[in-house]
Amino acid sequence: MSINLHEALRDDVRMLGDSLGRTIEQDLGEGFLARVEQIRHLAKEGRSAEKPVHDELLAAIESLQKDEVLPLARAFTQFLNLANIAEEHHRVRRQLDADEQNEPDDLAELIQQLHTQCGQSAQQIAETLSQMQIDLVLTAHPTEVNRRTLIQKYDAITDCLKRLDRNEPVNERLDQLIAQIWHTDEIRRQRPTPVDEAKWGFAVIENSLWNAIPRFCKRLDQTLQTTLGYRLPLDSSPVRFSSWMGGDRDGNPNVTAKVTAEVLQLSRWMAADLFAQDIDELRKELSMYRATPELLEQVGEQAAEPYRALLGGLRNRLEATRSGIAAQLSGETADTSQWISNDQELLEPLLLCHRSLTECGMANIAAGLLEDIIRRVSCFGLALVKIDIRQNADRHIEVFDELTHFYQLGSYASWSESNKQDFLLRELQSRRPLIPHQWQPSAAVQEVLDTCQVVAETTPDSLGSYVISMASKPSDVLAVILLLKEMGIGWNMRVVPLFETLNDLEGGPDCIAALLNIDWYKAYTENRQEVMIGYSDSAKDAGQLAAAWGQYRAQQALTRVCQQEGVHLTLFHGRGGTVGRGGGPSHTAILSQPPGSVAGALRVTEQGEMIRFKFGVPEIAIRNMELYTGAVLQATLCPGRPAEDSWCQYMDDLAGAGLRGYRSVIREDPQFVPYFRSTTPEQELAKLPLGSRPAKRRVDGGVESLRAIPWIFAWTQIRLMLPAWLGSDTALGEAIERGELVRLQQLYRDWAFFRTNIDMLEMVLAKSDASIATYYEKRLTSDELGVLGASLRDRLKYCVGLIKQIKQEAQLLSGNPIIRQSIEVRNPYLDPLHFLQVELLYRDRNQPDQCLEQALMVTMAGISAGMRNTG
């Protein structure tokens, strides 16, 4: 690729921006476009002059007429979306350029290093890769602000940029697409339903991952062959996908048993449809006449085109499966006798074709589309994705509380933990049913039972784990197993406690140890235990620093407990896209986990807009899957240096100070909640139809009931980014004041966990902007509450200085100029949206108006696009 990569990105951004400008001019006239350009110029000038707030820019925004507000917000929002498209395409372009230049492959280098430097045998590396289980769990957390119709148009623009790199004429098509985007409402009129969210997740698979998986496996296979002389087995897929979309009912009354049943069916329909299309294409290719006796035995010796004959039968069964599921979804009955009922029935004919082609001297044909389809079966199967079920522990307690009252046994909810366990274990081992026919439970309890009924009636290959939110005791796990048993489940589903708050993280290892000491339960697990670690709620509860350390300590202790019991532990990381929710570079995060906690298996959530950023384009999806694979392989075979006892003791002290500093504001300052509610758009966020879940777990609750996503979304919108750094400033500042700077610098150099947290903190601080936060406060908040705001901004600036000292840098992100430049390029387009949002908040709070609300929601979407994350 003979182009200057940096210039290519700049040219793409300019070209897309010019096209948007022409569209705006055609729609709203030259005068309005001039107004947009004036505001953009003033914002850019304000940044270059390093003035905290540019008076002319503010005056221009405050003077906007009512009918100008919405189109101005849309103009800057769509420019930021187009800049994101150009950047994502540029990432692909850089990767392709590296491939063309034959630059060393990261995964190949790692495999070679594990072999030569870490002393791992070629066989051990190959076996670890083939048995690896990386499960990426797609979740419907409401952080994807873009409508699906716009995402499709953005994808089409990406395709145009690819064609442009090949010197194809695409300018007319680009202008058409950008005009379509401009004339499309970017804000949903209604919240998506859980089924809509699931369909969005399926679309990511169909449009990107379906293509990416076989390419990823092929690259991995070639890397293994080149470096070690081994092959990746055809039935092996190190990376697989699960989903919470349609299964996550924690605090979401819209996810019912009926919804889950529908999503499970839709998922299988989509898989049958995609495989049917694949088999159609494969039949066109496999016109060969030579076949092995094994294959001819299946289709008859006289078959002129034996492969097509064999695949014709498979195609008919896929069609029967697809049409039958469609009939059931429409409420009709369907004949299931011809359905493909399991993955093996789909895989066997394909493997038979592969064996026959290979043995008949046509291995190069077998290595084409046929192998791609086999890889897809290994990854997706007939279920497409495994659906997890998630429910709050309190909902299961309600079931047994009503039951024990019905049986006049008292209140289950008030029993001791010991009594609960005795009761549950007795019923688990009883042969008689527990739930009586004449019992009429409340609607809420009936819904829990209906969900368990759906699970019990579903095949195991369609389901992942049953995750229990706010779990803290062994009885929380045993209760779910008993409910599933009562509904007639015929297999041992993984039941997974989710430890979220700091207290639950600290008590989690004891909870698992107590469970594994129960002989019945240990037999149920078949020596495999999964535990989910919550990042979002723990950070909201304790602050980022204390939460990160609580998560590390919990993983350390859980690993030790399971090793002592001879049980294989799989940790399920509930990470979000932002630092305040455990976000950051995935491979770095994996390698910073406690040694031994990643033993060839990892589950991790991929949430909201991060699904599209990381997996929406096949080339980027392949790169991210390679990063996951390399990190898990390294963490399994050559884990990092164990944390020294002195480091852990020191982190205990830092985390304690961080917890104190965080809660002194969040829980103890009486001004905090009024400041948060008045300065941020937290209350207005409820109007933004992002996802199917309510913003709060309880309608009447305060900040403590606010979900972690809107909590972080609100602070991101005003650029204070408070959840990511508050508390760290206290801990690090007190340490440096005690003369411990050198010790902090040594920890940064020697300990991956500490280094990862400091680097993520640096990244989020670079996105913060105290001057923007000042303007929100000045316009929206009382002088009395402004005292707290001034204190928080001082602490933010202080924290920036601390990170510079620890990293010995004069400027944040000195070692990561690409991210720093990306932030700097966006600021002149973000500033008008921030100032416009403040003006809209002020007007809407004083004189509510539907037109202003629409513009306000567009500014939220635009700021999210510019910041590259929401919650």
Enzyme catalytic residues: 141, 540
Task: Round to whole Å and give the CA distance between 548 and 539.
Answer: 8
State which amino acid sits at residue 98: A
Exposed e or buried b per residue across 320-349, where buried means at least 16 C-beta atoms within 10 angstroms of its C-beta = bbbbbbbebeeeeebeeeebbeebeebbeb
For residue 209, give the DSSP letter: I
Task: Round to whole Å and give the CA distance between 712 and 864.
Answer: 11
State which amino acid sits at residue 842: Y
Residues 6+ apart with CB under 8 A from 670: none
Task: Round to whole Å and give the CA distance between 173 and 696.
Answer: 43
Count CB-CB contacts under 10 A for residue 358: 15
**CA-closest candidate to residue 313, choices 331, 300, 326:** 300
State the residue for tokens 């062959």.
225
Count CB-CB contacts under 10 A for residue 129: 26
Task: Note the Cα 445 to chain centre separation in Å.
Answer: 30
Dihedral (Cα; 819, 824, 825, 827), 10-degree rounding: 120
Task: Round to whole Å and give the CA distance between 339 and 408.
Answer: 47
Dihedral (Cα; 295, 296, 298, 300), 10-degree rounding: 170
3-state secondary structure 307-376: HHHHHHHHHHHHHHHHHHHHHHHCCCCCCCCCCCCCHHHHHHHHHHHHHHHHHCCCHHHHCCHHHHHHHH
Task: Round to whole Å and give the CA distance between 456 and 485.
Answer: 8
CA atoms within 13 A on the CB side of 682: 21
What Å distances lie between residue 865 and 74, 718, 860, CA to CA? Answer: 12, 14, 9
Task: Round to whole Å and give the CA distance between 296 and 20.
Answer: 60
Tokens of 301: 């010796």
Task: Round to whole Å and give the CA distance between 720 and 551.
Answer: 25
For residue 581, give the DSSP letter: G
Residues 6+ apart with CB under 8 A from 339: 317, 320, 321, 324
State which amino acid sits at residue 858: V
What Å distances lie between residue 439 and 303, 406, 473, 565, CA to CA? Answer: 61, 8, 27, 40
Spatial contact of 385 and 205, defined as CB atoms under 8 Å apart: yes
Beta bridge partners of 469: 392
Secondary structure (3-state) at 392: strand
Residue 389 sits at φ, ψ, to 5 deg, of -105, 130
Which H or E run contains 479?
helix 474-486
State the residue for tokens 């001057």.
771
State the residue for tokens 């049953």.
466
Secondary structure (3-state) at 569: strand
The phi-psi region of residue 473 (left if phi > 0; otherwise alpha if psi is between -120 and 50; otherwise beta) is beta
**CA-closest candidate to residue 862, choices 51, 98, 76:** 76
Pairing of strands 601-607, 239-243: unpaired
Task: Note the Cα 223 to chain centre separation in Å.
Answer: 28
Count CB-CB contacts under 10 A for residue 306: 23
